[in-house]
Chain A
Amino acid sequence: MLGQYLPILALGVLAVLFAAVSFVASKLLAPRRPTSAKAAPYECGIVPTKEAPERFPVRFFLVAMIFIVFDIEIIFIYPWATIFEGLGLYGLVAMLIFAFAVFESFVYLVGNGALDWGPLKKQVPRTR
Chain B
Amino acid sequence: MFFAQVAPDSIVTPDIAWTALVPHLVLAGGAILMLMVWSLAGRWLPRWLPSMVTAAVGLGAAIGSIHLWRRVTDADRGPFSAVADSVGIDGFSVFLTVVISLTVVFAALLADGYLRRERLDGPEYHVLLLLSAAGGVTMATANDLIVLFLGLEILSLAVYVLAGYHNRRAQSQEAAIKYFVLGAFSSAFLLYGIALTYGATGSTNLVDINAYLRSTVLVDDGLLLAGFALLLVGLGFKVSAVPFHTWTPDVYQGSPTPVVAFMASGVKAAGFAALLRVFVVTFGTYADDWKPILYALAVATLLVGAILAVVQNDVKRMLAYSSISHAGFMLIGVHAASADGTASVLYYLAVYSVLVIGSFAVVGVVSGTGDGATTVGDFAGLGARRPWLAFAFTVFLLAQAGVPLTTGFFAKFYAITAAVDGRSWALAIVAMLSAVIAAYLYLRIMIAMWLEGSDDDAPIRVPVGTVVVLGVAAAFTIGFGIFPEPIVDLARDATPALVNSP
Contact = CB atoms under 8 A, between A and B. Distances in A.
A/B: CB atoms within 8 Å of each other: yes
A126 B42 contact: yes
B87 to A, nearest CB: 15
A125 B42 CA distance: 10
A87 interface: yes
Most buried by A among B8, B9, B121: B8
Contact of B222 (A2, A104, A108): A2
B491 to A, nearest CB: 35
Contacts of A86: 6-11
Contacts of A88: 13
B39 interface: yes
Interface of B: 6-11, 13-14, 32, 35-36, 38-40, 42-43, 47, 119-122, 220, 222-223
Contacts, number: 49
B32 A127 contact: no
Interface string A58-91: 0000000000000000000000000101111011
Given A100-B32, A111-B40, 15 more contacts: A1-B220, A83-B6, A86-B7, A86-B8, A86-B10, A86-B11, A104-B32, A104-B35, A107-B36, A107-B39, A111-B42, A125-B122, A126-B38, A126-B42, A126-B43
B30 to A, nearest CB: 13
- Per DSSP, chain A at the interface is helix
Contacts of A128: 47
B13 A85 contact: no
A127 B121 contact: yes
Nearest to A128: B47
Interface string A113-128: 0000000000001111
A50 to B, nearest CB: 28
Contact of B39 (A85, A101, A112): A112
A108 B220 contact: no
B13 A111 contact: no
A110 interface: yes
Contacts of B43: 126
A87 B36 CA distance: 29
A128 B46 CA distance: 10
B190 to A, nearest CB: 21
16 contacts: A1-B220, A2-B220, A86-B6, A86-B8, A87-B11, A104-B36, A104-B39, A107-B36, A108-B39, A111-B38, A112-B39, A125-B122, A126-B38, A127-B120, A127-B122, A128-B47
Contact of B8 (A85, A100, A112): A85
A100 B29 CA distance: 11
Contacts of A110: 39
A87 B13 contact: yes
A111 B38 CA distance: 8
Contacts of B10: 86
B93 to A, nearest CB: 23
